[in-house]
Structure 1
Amino acid sequence: MCGRFSLTATPEEVQEFLNLLDLEGFPARYNIAPTQPILVVIASDRQDPGSNLPQRKALLVRWGLIPGWVKDPKDFPLLINARSETAIGKASFRAAMRHRRVLVPASGFYEWHRPPKESGEKPQAYWIKPRTGKILAFAGLMETWSSADGSEVDTGAILTVGANRTIGRIHDRMPVVIKPEDFERWLDCKSGEPRHVEDLLVPAEEDFFEAVPVSDLVNKVANTGPEVQAPVGESLEIARPEKKASGNGQMSLF
């Protein structure tokens, strides 16, 4: 799953990475939590006159998707994540998968390794970021919920997938990362149906992320400074492919 993430890149860096039309300034956010506003990116009909590339729009939504058919959000669970394997057919996400796919810019996310209680070990938090140090974009979904009095709230969720081997040593799920070359296809909800983007809902490559152990400061929403990302140990090693034995019983590298 993804229960906390961070966006510490500058507005200028985010605007360039996602080719946004306009983007107001915002502070670095080191500990973004559910129900807080998050930045999402949607498609637009504008093109950059200099490059003919599509320009996109950014807006703020509440992290915690509320389907349009919900009568009272107080009686509905907080949907901060959507399982990519079932989102296409699940009532809560079906419409958003077809009509409102978004990108969620981030600098990385946090995950907790929770050992069995009988082990006596304490949970360990990890700050999981791209090894390149660059911005990334999670696959997201958006819904606009309307109350009985006519007021509207834009809401969103982050899609997750089964973790790769590296992140799987911490948790069995991870956010879906959309590559820049696939931004346009993911956001194209006019001609691109959910089945046309299923191939994008896969784990990131083993060496894409670096997992850095951090203190439990990140557990508290009130802790919003860079200290929540301070390392308390060595980064998790990348899970390497297992060598297969050749026909003569010798280990082979091929």
Structure 2
Amino acid sequence: VVTTSSPKELSRYLGAAEIVDVLGGEDHNLAPTGQLPVVWAEARTGDGGRGLTRVLGTARWGLVPKWADRPEIGARMFNARAETVAEKPAFRAAYAKRRCLIPVDGFYEWGVGRENHAKQPWYIYRPDGDPLVLAGLWECWSPPDTQEGELKTCTVITVPANNDLRPVHHRMPALLPPEDWSDWLDPGEASREILDAMLRPAADGLLSRHPVDRRVNNARNKGPELLEEVTDDSDLLPLGQERLW
């Protein structure tokens, strides 16, 4: 994924009243196990009574369930399918009580051309420049039998691709519009039916995409030049194996 917005920009856009972590700098190629910006809700008591406060922080991409013996399991928990997230042991507790917003500039996906069958990366983003707000889950994991601090981790929920992205891939991250943010973050109010209804493909026409250089295949490459459009004359087919989503 691509993350370039400052903490102040993200907190203003997402209505976060508090920033608790120092977010990393710009990253034009953030891969699983990297630190993602996330917003979650915490119950606070103020002059107006008890309410929820949105908090902006970071979490390692790849959810580590509370019951895990070791954190390495998170490396393969970077996404969760909407169709099964409420039942999977790794995700069901977080889906019930620990949902979050994950703001990114855009994300990469890979397709295959007819001629040479080489993986072609595409950058997917909003043409108006606004962040994509991904539906996510977060969890805090503590090492058993040690006094080490908690590790906050997260995962991205995925849904079937919309018509715009289906030529590249059959899955995409679930995107949440502003009117869904409060219910998504609330750990106690939204019913299972309401939550499930939020996890749907993005409306056609919301996103743009263009092919980018294969240097993005190496997560050590981080620069803004990765976003530049490259000429690609191959007729893309859907990639049969998931790369991220």
Residues in 1 aligned to 2:58 and 2:28: alpha-carbon distance in whole angstroms: 17
Q: Counterparts of 1:170-189 in structure 2 under 5 Å? A: 170-189=168-187
Residue of structure 2 in register with 1:210 after alignment: 208
Does the residue aligned with 2:165 lie in a helix, a strand or coil? helix
Give 1:63 shift: 0.5
Residues in 2 aligned to 1:128 and 1:231: alpha-carbon distance in whole angstroms: 11
Seen in structure 2, the aligned counterparts of structure 1 residues 115 and 150 have a Cα distance that, compared at 3 Å, is farther
Residue of structure 2 in register with 1:85 after alignment: 83
- Between 1:28-37 and 1:189-198, the stretch displaced more is 189-198
Residue of structure 2 in register with 1:242 after alignment: none
Structure 1 length as normaliser, TM-score?
0.82
Does the residue aligned with 2:76 lie in a helix, a strand or coil? coil
Give 1:75 shift: 5.9
Residue of structure 1 in register with 2:140 after alignment: 144
Contact kept, 8 Å, 2:24 with 2:35, in 1: the verdict is no
Deviations for 1:32-72, whole angstroms, at most 9, x for unmatched residues? 111111111001346999xxx96410121111111111123
Give 1:201 shift: 0.2
Structure 2 length as normaliser, TM-score?
0.85
Residues in 2 aligned to 1:47 and 1:17: alpha-carbon distance in whole angstroms: 23
Aligned CA RMSD, in angstroms, stands at: 2.4
Contact kept, 8 Å, 2:60 with 2:153, in 1: the verdict is yes
Seen in structure 2, the aligned counterparts of structure 1 residues 48 and 10 have a Cα distance that, compared at 3 Å, is farther
Does the residue aligned with 1:113 lie in a helix, a strand or coil? strand
Contact kept, 8 Å, 1:70 with 1:76, in 2: the verdict is no
Deviations for 1:188-230, whole angstroms, at most 9, x for unmatched residues? 1122243321110001011011011100111111111101101
Residues in 1 aligned to 2:93 and 2:27: alpha-carbon distance in whole angstroms: 30
Give the aligned residue type for 1:203: P
Residue of structure 2 in register with 1:239 after alignment: none
Give the aligned residue type for 2:39: V
Give 1:115 shift: 4.4
Unaligned runs of 5+ in 2: 233-245
Contact kept, 8 Å, 1:212 with 1:233, in 2: the verdict is no
Seen in structure 2, the aligned counterparts of structure 1 residues 162 and 21 have a Cα distance that, compared at 3 Å, is same
Residues in 2 aligned to 1:75 and 1:214: alpha-carbon distance in whole angstroms: 31
Residues in 1 aligned to 2:100 and 2:80: alpha-carbon distance in whole angstroms: 13
Does the residue aligned with 1:165 lie in a helix, a strand or coil? coil
Seen in structure 2, the aligned counterparts of structure 1 residues 110 and 196 have a Cα distance that, compared at 3 Å, is same
1:104 has 2:105 as partner: no
Residue of structure 1 in register with 2:243 after alignment: none
Contact kept, 8 Å, 1:159 with 1:176, in 2: the verdict is yes
Give 1:76 shift: 6.7
Residue 159 of structure 1, aligned match among 157, 160, 171: 157
Unaligned runs of 5+ in 1: 235-254
Residues in 1 aligned to 2:45 and 2:111: alpha-carbon distance in whole angstroms: 43
Does the residue aligned with 2:157 lie in a helix, a strand or coil? strand
Residue of structure 2 in register with 1:8 after alignment: 4
Give the aligned residue type for 1:160: T
Residue 124 of structure 1, aligned match among 116, 120, 124: 120
Q: Which protein is bigger by CA-based radius of gyration?
A: 1
Does the residue aligned with 1:90 lie in a helix, a strand or coil? coil
> How many residues are treated as equivalent by the alignment?
226
Q: Counterparts of 1:9-24 in structure 2 under 5 Å? A: 9-23=5-19, 24=22
